[in-house]
A and B are shown apart, each in its own frame.
Chain A
Amino acid sequence: MLTALCGFAVLIVLILCRVPIALAMGLVGFFGFAVERGLGFDNFFDFKWRVPLSMVASHAVYTAREYGLSVIPLFILMGNLVGSSGLAGELYRAAYAWLGHRRGGLAMSTVLACGGFSAICGSSLATSATMSRVAIPPMREFKYADSLAAASVAAGGTLGILIPPSVILIIYGVFTETSIRELFAAGVIPGLLGVLFYLFAVRYTVWRTPEAGPPGALTPSAERWKALSGVLGVLLLFVLVMGGIYAGVFTPTEAAGVGAGGAFLIALYKRSLTPVIMLNILRDTVRTSAMLFSILIGALALSSFVTRAGFPQELADWLSGLGVAPLLVITAMMMVYVLLGMLLESLSMLLLTLPVFFPVVQSLGLDPVWFGIVVVVVTEISLITPPVGLNVFVLSATVPDISTRTIFKGVTPFWVVDILRLVLLILVPSLSLWLPALLYR
């Protein structure tokens, strides 16, 4: 137990010293594992390094050969293709046509469009990066406060990791051997709830400061329907991909491949692809995948060490010895996530904590699907929590003249409704579990 705690301490120090997270986790995992196998100061040179080395090597090889994970590059490719094909703009236009004339309507349209985009994109960063280019210019045109405009994109973008397809849910599923189909089904209602709550946050902001979100122009009803038809492509793709998974026609990997193919066809049809753009999209996707997989491999090495040190088991035994209510344990875990969220981005945070938390959750007899959703929602919150709200940084990188301070200020109401949603999801598990139960159990 002491070794594991020391390991975590070293890990945090390394991460704070700007060692890449994958490298830090891998190194701590490797040396921690070696220590557990009897490495000490006296036998440093004649230690059998081959054992920890082959542990890391086989994690590297088997992770990169895991069929279930091949869905990751394909879903990222699909999101990138959709992002380049202008579908995000059409989503926004459609939402605007219906909501734009209301007070705060453009920000509400942003939230809705983000929700729609999340339904075909599995990553929060991609969602907010794409939506910021689409939604910020019109909001500035209508003299929206920068804080509200940017906050609606940053917060709306976090929906990307909950509304399926979701890269994080896939990784959670593979890592904990939980059904990805069920996780995807479980994410739908909490995701829609998120959209609803964010709309509420926009309403609240414009109620407090009406000049933050003046109404836009009214769209005549004929044009409204026309705008809605522009969304057909997105809808079709979503129905094909998610419908296929839900109905059990495709495995998630096949669905991702077909979805990427569909997005490719849509992009071709819209004439938004040149060979150069396509090559750049592919390059970008491959690199993002390599980056994600390195974190995954590092995390697996770390997990091997932590498990071998017996830390999760000891923690679970200790907790059950205390006899505390599961709700209290979950609350404590959520605190840990909110704290870690100030330091880490969502995937690293998830992979860092799961080897310890997941066995505890299992020993408490809690539902792994429900826990997955709760964890994803709390990591989502970390994306807009200072000081390392990653979505906020993406946004201030794409729109350089809005400072992170302004965005964090505007994001506060969104953050509050997020916490409310988290509490609701913890207290009412059926919000997450009703749909998968209906479909599969």
Chain B
Amino acid sequence: MSEPLSELDAPPPQPRDFFGRLCSWLSDLGALVLFALMLLTCVDVFGRYLLNAPLNGGTELTELALSVIVFSALPVVTLTGGHVVVELLDLNMPAAAKVLAARVLDCLWALVLSGIGYGVWKLASRALRRREVSEYLQIPVAYVLYFTVFCLALGAVASLWRCLSPRR
């Protein structure tokens, strides 16, 4: 019987160009936050049940971590074509048309990401104006939202960059 290979012996695709690398680093930050979230949950649970010392604000940190995880990886997923696509119709398009379609898609992503980014930016400025903070730890909500805006903007710029750069 053969030894099982790890499903992940091949690393996930890493884009090579400048913006691509930036997006990829950003998602590595998300990866570290995920690891921290795992540790945090374990510490929280064991602290509560075994040491009778609950971690205050664990829920809040979890929510913050989730935002960071999701949005930090969004640009690289978009750039490496990691989104779910239905490939039902076998489109027999000439190569040039395929390139054009890919460019249109990049453009669309740039538009959508910057649109959402703008919307979140509005939410962030409102949160800053109202000085919204989280309940226990008093973390300003606006910072997290601005981080989200940064991720979305980077994704948008990178998509636009890819749309304009030459490809095979």
Chain A positions within 8 Å of B, measured between CB atoms, are 15-16, 18-23, 26-27, 30, 50, 53-54, 56-58, 60-61, 63-67, 69-70, 73-74, 77, 80, 83-84, 86, 88-89, 92-93, 96, 126, 129-130, 133-134, 137-138, 249-250, 253-254, 256-258, 260-261, 264, 272, 276-287, 289-291, 293-295, 342-345, 347-348, 387-388
Query: B59: which A residues are within 8 A, CB to CB?
Result: 67
B1-23 interface (Cβ within 8 A of A): 1-9, 11-12
Contact A22 B83 (CB under 8 A): yes
For residue A287, give the distance in angstroms from its CB to the closest CB of chain B: 5
Q: Of all chain B residues, which has the CB nearest A84? A: B6
Q: Of all chain A residues, which has the CB nearest B31? A: A282
Q: Report 9 cross-chain contacts, Cβ distance below 8 Å, ordered by A residue.
A: A18-B87, A22-B84, A61-B120, A70-B63, A284-B8, A286-B69, A290-B73, A344-B86, A387-B88
Contact A134 B4 (CB under 8 A): yes
- A interface, over-half SS: helix
B118, CB-defined interface residue at 8 Å: yes
Q: Of all chain A residues, which has the CB nearest B101? A: A18
Contact A282 B118 (CB under 8 A): no
B66, CB-defined interface residue at 8 Å: yes
Of the residues A16, A80, A342, A344, contact of B8 by C-beta under 8 Å: A80
Given known contacts A20-B85, A134-B4, A137-B2, A282 and B32 CB-to-CB distance under 8 angstroms: yes
For residue B121, give the distance in angstroms from its CB to the closest CB of chain A: 8
Contact A294 B77 (CB under 8 A): yes
Given known contacts A53-B118, A137-B2, A261 and B42 CB-to-CB distance under 8 angstroms: yes
Number of interface residues of B (CB under 8 A): 66
Query: A61: which B residues are within 8 A, CB to CB?
Result: 67, 120, 123, 145, 148
B108, CB-defined interface residue at 8 Å: yes
Chain B positions within 8 Å of A, measured between CB atoms, are 1-9, 11-12, 27-28, 30-32, 34-35, 37-42, 44-45, 49, 59, 62-67, 69-74, 76-77, 82-89, 91, 101, 105, 108-109, 112, 115-116, 118-120, 122-123, 144-145, 148
Of the residues A126, A129, A284, contact of B12 by C-beta under 8 Å: A284
Q: How far apart are the CA atoms of A80 and B65 in the complex, in Å?
A: 19
Of the residues B27, B109, B115, B122, contact of A287 by C-beta under 8 Å: B27
Contact A289 B84 (CB under 8 A): no
Contact A60 B120 (CB under 8 A): yes
Q: How far apart are the CA atoms of A20 and B32 in the complex, in Å?
A: 27
For residue B39, give the distance in angstroms from its CB to the closest CB of chain A: 7
Query: B77: which A residues are within 8 A, CB to CB?
Result: 287, 290-291, 294
Q: Of all chain B residues, which has the CB nearest A19? A: B105
Q: How far apart are the CA atoms of A291 and B70 in the complex, in Å?
A: 8
For residue A127, give the distance in angstroms from its CB to the closest CB of chain B: 10
Of the residues A84, A283, A295, contact of B11 by C-beta under 8 Å: A283
Given known contacts A23-B108, A282-B31, A286-B31, A258 and B4 CB-to-CB distance under 8 angstroms: no
For residue A213, give the distance in angstroms from its CB to the closest CB of chain B: 17
For residue B158, give the distance in angstroms from its CB to the closest CB of chain A: 14
Contact B7 A23 (CB under 8 A): no
Contact B74 A69 (CB under 8 A): no
In this complex, which of B27, B38, B109 has the most chain A Cβ atoms within 10 angstroms of its Cβ?
Answer: B38
Query: B115: which A residues are within 8 A, CB to CB?
Result: 30, 53, 56
Contact B89 A16 (CB under 8 A): yes
Q: How far apart are the CA atoms of A16 and B86 in the complex, in Å?
A: 7
Contact B1 A137 (CB under 8 A): yes
Contact B31 A279 (CB under 8 A): yes
